[in-house]
Every structure is written in C-alpha cells, then in structure tokens.
Amino acid sequence: MILNEKIDHHSHKPVIVIFCISTLVLFFFSSLRHSLFQSGALDLGFFDQGIWLLSQGMIPKSSLIDIHLLGDHAAFILYPLSLLYKINPDIHWLFLVHATTISVGIFPIVILSKRNGLDSKQIYLILLIYLFSPILFNANSTYDFHPDIFAVPCLLWGILYAEENKLAHFLSTLFVLVSAKAVFLLTAVSIGIWLIFKKKKLMGSIAITFGIVWLLIAIQLVMPAFDAGAGRFAARYGSLGSSYLEILINLFIKPNLILSKIFSIDSLLYLLLLFIPVIWCLKYADKKLLLIIFPTVIMSILSDDPQQRYLANHYPLPILPILIVMVISGINEFVKEKKWSYRFILFWTVLAFVTMSRLNLFMGEYLQSLDTWQANNEAIALVKNQGSILTTHEIAPHVTHRPLVKLAFSNSEPNLEEFDYILLNTRHFGYQSNRDYALNLVEKAKKIPSLKLKYQKDDVFLFSKNDL
C-alpha cells in the first residue's frame, strides 16, 4: 500500500512517481473530453486561438469574443505558453500544462507536511485528499483550460516560502499568481493580512503593497489598453451597483444588499459544498488561513452569476490549496483524538470525489454525440488551410489555429459569404444553438454560388469556397 511508503530526505522517488501518474491521468481525461467534442470555444478555444496568434507573431485578439488575451484578465502568464506553440502548435499543450500545474502542487504539500511534523502515512493521505479533490478534477477534466489553475501551486509554494521567511521566493510566487489573473491581487492582499496576523509584518506589508500596486497597473493601465476595461466584469454584480465605485459605496451605505446575499440559501449551500470534502478537520485546523480565501468566497457569494458558485468550474481553484494547508495544520490533532481517523478520512475523501466530481460525464453525457464523432473528424480533416471558418461551439476548439473563427450561435446572423469554410453539426448543434437554426444555415449556404458542399455525413456539413 502506498500509505505505508516512507518519505525521507534521501528518497523522493515515491513522490515523483505520484507526480508523473497524476499528470498523465489528468492529461488523459482532459484530452479525452476534447477528443469527444465536449470542450468548447468558451473558454478553451479563446485561449488556444489567442496563444496560437501570439506564437505566429500576430496580435493575440481572439475573433471568438473579440477580446485581446490581456484584455480578458491581464493574464501575462499566457505569453510564455506561446513558446510551446512555436515547438508545435497543438492545443494539447494546454491540457499538459493544466495537468502538470496541478501535479506540481504535490511538492510543496510534502514539504509543508514535513514542517508540521507529519509522518509518511499522514503525508500520503493528504496527497490523496489533494489529488482526489472534486474541485481539481472538475476544473481540469470537465471545464476547459483556465489560467486560474496556476493559483493552486502558487498559493502552496507562497505559503511555504512565507513560513520559511524566503522573501524573494515568496514575491516571485505572488508575481506568478497575479499574472495568471488580475483579480488574484485581492488574494495577494489577503495573504498579506494573514501574514500580519502571523506576526510577519514586513512580509505581510509587502504583499499588501504588491497587491495594491498590481491593482493600479492591471485595472487602470493594462486591461483598458487592450479592451473595454475591467468595468465589463461589474455586470456580474449589477444588483449591488452599476460600477465598482458604486458597489464599494453600497457595501457601507446599503448593507442589506450584501447581507441578503450572504445569508441566502444559495450561499449557504455553496459554502457547505465547498467545505464538505475537508469538513472533518475544520475544528482542528488553523482558522487564520480562512483570511486568504475570503476575497474569493465573498466575490462568489455576491456575484449575480450563479456560475461563480458552481464548484464544477474554475472559480473555487484559489480556495483549494488553502483547504489543503488547513488539513495539514489540523490532521495531527484529529488523528490523536479519533482512533478510527485514517479509515474515515480515506472513506470520506473517496465519497466526496464520487459524489461531487463529474467523472460520471465520461460514462454518460460525453458519449451521447459519438454517433457523429467520425463525421466530425473527417470534416475537420478536410479543412486544409487557415482560412476563416464558421462553426459550432464544440467543434471550434479543433479549428482555432487561424485568424478568423466565428461561432454559429442562434442569436447571430452571420454573413456566410465572408467565410472560407462553414462546418456545422445539425444533429448535435451545441451550446447556444438549436437544430432549426443550424439547418437554416445549411440551406442558406447551399444557395450561395461561391460555396461548395464539400462533405456531408451523419448530419455534419462542410462547405468551402470553390477555389479551396
């Protein structure tokens, strides 16, 4: 049994093996989902097209939603990923980066556990809790690629470096954290507050200052320079105000708006589901760590968009590493008090994964479109060049390596003559579309002289310009 293995300073082989297995398993599931045409243009296609454009020396402004990579969340961390696309432009790089980033979190977990005096059985148990987290699996395998994933190892390493008083290393993790998503500057500030409570006033003050400076850079300079600015995200909090300034003022003059959201059934259910996988250790854990997750939790609760409280997507990712550190801080006391603790923790971890992960999608919903899988792939193979294309939300990530990709959403009226390719699946028409709309597009395309029906099989249609 792996739980009986020993971790010591002379042999890291078991941990490296776990890292490799974890990376391969996570990479397999995200690649499988993509191959089954269950990934989407939003947001996988957006990031893939933007990074591909960058690797080709073009402006990384995605045609899918007409937003620059930096205009989205000031995610500078996406720029180095374009170097991988220079080696070979393949969307699977994103899946590999996602899986590797998650697995890298294993190493600071082990070191933090040793610092807390945990034995090998406890360390492997915590690794199991981490790797079997429903939040991690769902964000990796059922919700596309998002740079939010970098928050997971960054927070784990950052807490470790803070504990070891390694200021330069700590600041480097904060830089990577905020470069993954501008809003993580709030997490940087909350880490600073946590450090002040831990009597590390200098490091804490630096973290708070760093977060505030990044706020000014990202919100006032970067995002407005590449897009309409961060104000477009204020719409998620429209019930609290029409601008960030108004929302901030309402926090003080209209507390009832805030309290009604915080003490709602929706919010309480969100919090319950968030903490359930580790609820057994909360009594014994370091409660000060909750300061770090406060910004993420409160933003999710106050948002008008229920997706931010949906644990199957990427929004809870910055919370997970803090929950793991809380487990590290509390597991020793828990096992001293409960003789049956190890079996219970193992059972509870597996139960939480089985009931809260979306693994069942790979045995059900994701297989429902297999009847057009071959036709989709054959049609995509006939898209020979980087010409413009109109296609469905689910097919789009397979053809995003081109300057112009548009989505066949039922609320749009595209000019079919402007596209070199039109690729539609009228049987599985996809997100924000319907069968009648898809069939109507097909009939319109058939009447355009410059377009030729190049492929038709199993309700999959590919049109291309006559000269292609």
Are 441 and 379 contained in the same domain?
Answer: yes
pLDDT of 234 higher than 70: no
Give the C-alpha separation, 283 to 126, whole Å: 17
Q: Is there a single domain that holds both residue 382 and residue 319? A: no
Report how far residue 21's alpha carbon sits from residue 436's, in angstroms, rounded to the nearest whole number: 45
Same-domain check for residues 252 and 111: yes
**Residue 145 backbone dihedrals phi, psi, to 5 degrees:** -90, 135
Contact assessment for residue 148 and residue 314, using Cβ atoms and an 8 Å cutoff: yes
The total of structural domains in the chain comes to 2
On whether both 348 and 384 belong to a single domain, the answer is: no
pLDDT of 406? 96
Q: Which of 323, 342, 363 is the last residue of a domain?
A: 363
pLDDT in tens, 335-357: 887 766 888 999 999 999 999 99
pLDDT at 305: 87
Among 363, 386, 405, the domain boundary falls at 363
Q: Are residues 64 and 166 in the same domain?
A: yes
Domain hosting residue 444, numbered range: 370-465
Q: Is the pLDDT of residue 143 over 90?
A: no
Secondary structure class of 291 (helix, strand, coil): helix
pLDDT, one tens digit per residue, over 57-111 is 999 999 998 889 888 788 899 999 999 999 999 999 999 999 999 999 999 999 9
- Our CA dihedral for 254, 259, 264, 268, rounded to 10 degrees, sits at 150
**Residues 150 and 291 occupy one common structural domain:** yes
Query: Are 142 and 201 found together in one domain?
Result: yes
Q: For residues 419 and 276, state if they share a domain.
A: no
According to the model, what pLDDT value does residue 362 have?
94
Domain end among 348, 363, 378:
363
Residue indicated by tokens 């910004």: 295
Q: Which of 175-184, 234-243, 360-369, 457-466 has the lowest mean pLDDT?
A: 234-243
Q: What pLDDT, on a 0 to 100 scale, did the predictor assign at position 1?
A: 36
pLDDT at residue number 2: 41
**Per-residue pLDDT, 3:** 42
Residue 440 has pLDDT above 90, yes or no: yes
Q: Which two tokens stand for residue 436?
A: 């009648």
Distance between CA 244 and CA 14 in Å, rounded?
48
- Give the separation between CA 319 and CA 160, rounded to whole angstroms: 16
Task: Answer yes or no: do 207 and 285 share one domain.
Answer: yes
**357 and 413 fall within a common domain:** no
Query: Does the pLDDT at position 4 exceed 70?
Result: no
Does one domain contain both 312 and 420?
Answer: no
Pick the range with the lowest mean pLDDT from 24-33, 241-250, 306-315: 241-250
Residues 309 and 458 in one domain: no
What would the pLDDT profile of 348-395 be if each residue is shown by its tens digit? Answer: 999 999 999 999 999 999 999 999 999 999 999 999 889 999 999 999
pTM check: above 0.85: yes
